[in-house]
Amino acid sequence: MGISTYDPASLEVTNQWFYSDFISVFPILKGTSQQNNEFRITFKKDRKSDSMTFSSEHRADLLTEALQFRQLFAEKTTTMLVRFTGYVHINLLAPGLFF
């Protein structure tokens, strides 16, 4: 299973990668005044990494879909597993009042 790119005119497959070949996929951030549809994928190619930039009006949907499979990517980062410890403070002196 992986990701494919297609020629919009003929719908012919132009590129195809397995998720295990992916290193990262992320949006390219530009100024807030511009409509930005670009994103970059980085993948393994012949023992090296290579990247390609794409543009799509469906960027958010594409990134969301791809990142659902990030556990299958070639390089796993510790930022994928973030844990937070939380505490609840209960005010026993004034029931019903929470600060």
Residue 52 confidence class, pLDDT cut points 50, 70, 90: very high
Mean pLDDT of 25-39: 80
pTM above the 0.85 mark? no
Q: Which residues of 28-61 are buried (b: 16+ CB within 10 A; e: fewer)?
A: eeeeeeeeebebebbbbeeeeeeeeeeeeeebee
Residues above pLDDT 90, as percent of the chain: 16
**Domains detected in the chain:** 2-80 (2.30.29)
Mean pLDDT of 30-38: 74
Over residues 67-84, the pLDDT tens digits come to 888 888 887 655 555 667
